[in-house]
Structure 1
Amino acid sequence: MTSHMPVTRRDLLKLGAAGAATAALAARPATATEGRFDLTGSSSPLIWKKDLYDQTVLQSFACDNVHGHIYTLQLRNGTGQNAAGNLCLTKLGLTGTVLGHMYLMGFGHGVQLGVEPSGSSAYLWTETDGVTENGSARGSQLARFRFADGQTLDTASPALTKYKPIATADNTTCAIDPSRNRLIMRYRSEGAFRFAVYSLPALKAGTVSALFDIAQPSGLGVFQGYAAYGDFLYLLTGEAYSDANPAPGNTYITCLDLRTGGQVQRELTEAGKSLDYREPEGMAIQIAAGRPRLCLGLASGVEKARKASIFYKSAMI
């Protein structure tokens, strides 16, 4: 039998203080921890089947852990947007409510996204200067720009600051590790994909010396996104449900050690397995109440009415 005690004014004050402390922790930047995420741990929903600003498939997302926002990338509505590299950037609240958007013309495919909180807003890091290849545009360098609701940017916009730390790189995207303030760049050079890690402040100051540079392992499947926390990199691969790929699908998360390039763990994830279509799309690190979460995105719904869901793992090893 459960006993129900009356709630006193002192109890309410305690609850209020606890809530304030939790809010303060949520707004505090993460600090790097030893260890890594346990990929066998359970997955929990953060947002479930939410509309983005446009109705196309979610491509990637990133979390603003200071202001409590999520930013997503998708192809812009309409035919020919893939080849043109035209993207829609949506700003969401943590419950999935649309708070604003931008259009990015000619940027690329939106495979990954980084967010850098700044003051009362945030700067976004994306691919830019998309080059068409096999019917799809892929960015050839990186761009940093401040979020401005309703604005449309093209690749010549003065609002962009561009970076190309590896001159020979093409097909370039990036993510940001909030625990160590590092930028992780996935790039292709001489036909092979690699990951280079930079101090974010040093990169912005013009230093292009990588802290780590490791190869992307072969044979992982269709690449769909990545995120880094501390010394470990997490890769998302897989395809949408189909007759050849029925539920629970072929979505895997692979963990690499950034210091050695070695594979540490690889696990099938059944997060959101009841979704229709269910295509894995994007990864990010969220900080909730001072603790890290490894998030992965899933697209669902029918064509021209796609939905976005995000799940997370929080267990650490």
Structure 2
Amino acid sequence: MDNLSRRGLLTGAGAVVAAGTLGVPAATARTLSLPTSKRFVMGGAGGEIFRSKPLQDVTVMQSFAFDTPNNRLFTGQVRAGSSANSGNLTLTQLSIDTGAILGHMYLTGFGHAVSIGAEAVGSTTYIWTETDVDTANGRGRQITRFPWRNGTTLTSTSVTKWKPVANGTVFTPAVDQRYGRLGVRYALSDGMHINVYSLAAARAGDFSTVLASFKQPALTSGVAFQGWALYGSYVYLWEGNAYPGSPNQDDVTSKLWCYDINAGQLVDSFRTLAGWSLTYREAEGMAVYGSTDATARLYFGFASGVAGDRRANLFYRNELT
């Protein structure tokens, strides 16, 4: 989204942490744990999938998600011509190989699409998003799940909705397909929190068993939060501001973070220069693709281009430790 101040409510205030710093800050409040998995190395090997691809609308890409079994890629953005707080979204299906547009859906009254998820059920993709927009801030007050139907429009009143945390607000989901879990990020009075649930239970509307829960630690002060992903026993966080003008490496604020759920702390971070020469270059969206360690990739996205012609760009890390 062009207006960064509207992303500010999702950005934790706290100390600036240098790239590569481990174990910062002190362990945060958490409960329960998950079976230990490998984690992506934030400054490790990787590459890019595509640059400067148009979406169905010309607004900034906010998020994306992969349906790994069906080899599908979906993006989320505020619908062109809608106000930032309307909750009206556009989802675009892109070719994973070329970034070509394959289809789209419109969502009315849903939210901002800071994070979306994709779940394969046979050959059908189910999309997880926020819904029931709060027009005071443009964010969803609940989450939902619905099948992808190219060319259709859904309204918030036409879908099943859940509020996993009774006193939570600003909900966004992330699907961990490999480990069969759903992450839910939400706001409480003391900041942002993340819960982890069984994906099978969540799809049935059962959020009674929390597999893991923690308060998100503060990231970099003054830098916008731009996306997150759940994979195994780790959560990945993504932040970055758009360039104020012409691209310059010194302007890059985009940073990848890794949070160890079981240890209750940040364990890795890296300020990335990927795509630093892109015009505008605003960090947007994060998701995991892959069904094994050998095929797993942690993708992070950027919006680029000029106002009225924004483009999508995807890069990744595939080194695990």
**TM-score of the pair, normalised by structure 2:** 0.84
After superposition, what is the alpha-carbon deviation per residue over 1:121-152, rounded to whole angstroms, capped at 9, x for unaligned?
Answer: 2000000001023xx40001101000111111
Aligned partners of 2:269 and 2:123: how far apart in 1? 38
The answer to whether structure 1 residue 282 and structure 2 residue 281 are counterparts is no
Aligned partners of 2:155 and 2:319: how far apart in 1? 41
Corresponding residue of 1:137: 138
Q: Please say if residues 235 and 254 of structure 1, whose CA atoms lie closer than 8 Å, have aligned partners that are also in contact.
A: yes
The residue matched to 1:217 in structure 2 has which SS? Answer: coil
Amino acid at match of 1:150: G
Corresponding residue of 2:304: 300
Q: Which sections of structure 2, spanning at least 5 residues, go unmatched?
A: 1-34
The answer to whether structure 1 residue 163 and structure 2 residue 162 are counterparts is yes
Q: In 2 relative to 1, CA 185–288 (structure 1 residues): closer, same or farther, beyond 3 Å?
A: closer
Number of aligned pairs? 281
Corresponding residue of 1:27: none
* Paired residues for 1:81-120 under 5 Å: 82-94=84-96, 95-120=98-123
The answer to whether structure 1 residue 208 and structure 2 residue 211 are counterparts is no
The answer to whether structure 1 residue 190 and structure 2 residue 189 are counterparts is yes
Q: Please say if residues 62 and 114 of structure 1, whose CA atoms lie closer than 8 Å, have aligned partners that are also in contact.
A: yes
- The alpha carbon displacement at 1:247 in A equals 2.8
Amino acid at match of 1:279: E
Q: In 2 relative to 1, CA 252–142 (structure 1 residues): closer, same or farther, beyond 3 Å?
A: same
Aligned partners of 1:185 and 1:131: how far apart in 2? 17
Q: Which sections of structure 1, spanning at least 5 residues, go unmatched?
A: 1-31
- The alpha carbon displacement at 1:68 in A equals 1.0
Root mean square deviation, CA, Å: 1.8
The residue matched to 2:298 in structure 1 has which SS? Answer: strand
Greater RCO (CA < 8 Å, at least 6 residues apart)? 2
Aligned-residue sequence identity (percent) comes to: 41
Corresponding residue of 1:8: none
Q: In 2 relative to 1, CA 121–232 (structure 1 residues): closer, same or farther, beyond 3 Å?
A: same
Q: Which of the residues 247, 253, 260 maps onto 2:249?
A: 247
Corresponding residue of 1:57: 60
The residue matched to 1:156 in structure 2 has which SS? Answer: helix
After superposition, what is the alpha-carbon deviation per residue over 1:24-61, rounded to whole angstroms, capped at 9, x for unaligned?
Answer: xxxxxxxx983211111143111211111111000000
Which 4+ residue blocks in structure 1 deviate beyond 4 angstroms?
A: 243-246
Corresponding residue of 1:257: 260
- The alpha carbon displacement at 1:192 in A equals 1.2
**TM-score of the pair, normalised by structure 1:** 0.85
